[in-house]
Structure 1
């Protein structure tokens, strides 16, 4: 069977839920995830790991205690481990995340937006 690339746009088009990441691939023990965002997410931290955010479309603000980081398409930011952050996308954004497989999306603050680990279904 021949290898093929992953069509991130097709994966994102396959679901509508916001703040519910889909794992599209793995790199060692890390998940590559895509997620639709809109509005405010839970303020949280990941005590054991950094978290990479790469904006694919739209605009995402990451609220930090030291000031906000606003990202547009093609821009990324790594939230250091243990740093409280709150993603916010008033008009919505599609994001690629890189984080360890066991990382829960709401980190140390579980609640209504906690999502189970889901793998994307191939097209």
Structure 2
């Protein structure tokens, strides 16, 4: 099935609430919008791949900051604590195992539970 990613981004306005657009081989392909800072967290058992489509996403790590511009990607290795920070209205994609929790090992008021993940 062909998916228009730009069109999918136009279907929602919530920030830091990933939307699932497809799956492949046990991996979920999610898109999200963000502005400002999410929360520090880690994924003990899963790597997390980020691809920026619009804006700028900084992945704060304890050792360095990875700044991603449009068209760039980065994989946060499993177990690495990180905190995403987005410039206003940044659009990005994440590809990760279906088992990956939104904010990893941290439960907060911004956490989207695996039961509440939305497909668009």
Q: The TM-score by the shorter chain falls in which range? A: over 0.9
Q: How does 1:38-117 map to 2 (within 5 A)?
A: 38-115=35-112, 116-117=116-117
Distance 1:68 1:13 in 2: 29
Scaled by the length of structure 2, the TM-score of the pair is: 0.94
Secondary structure at the aligned position of 1:42 is classed as coil
Per-residue deviation, 1:7: 0.8
Q: Deviations over 1:76-121 (max 9, x none)?
A: 000000000000013231001001112111101111111131111x
Q: Which moved more, 1:76-85 or 1:93-102?
A: 93-102
In structure 2, distance between residues paired with 1:42 and 1:112: 10
**Which TM-score applies when normalising by structure 1?**
0.92
- Partners of 2:31 and 2:92 lie apart in 1 by 6
C-alpha separation in 1, matches of 2:38 and 2:110: 8
More strand by share: 2
Shift of 1:49: 0.5
C-alpha contact (below 8 Å) 1:39/1:92 kept by paired residues: no
Unaligned runs of 5+ in 2: none
Moved over 3 A (4+): none
Q: What stretches of structure 1 of length at least 5 have no aligned partner?
A: none
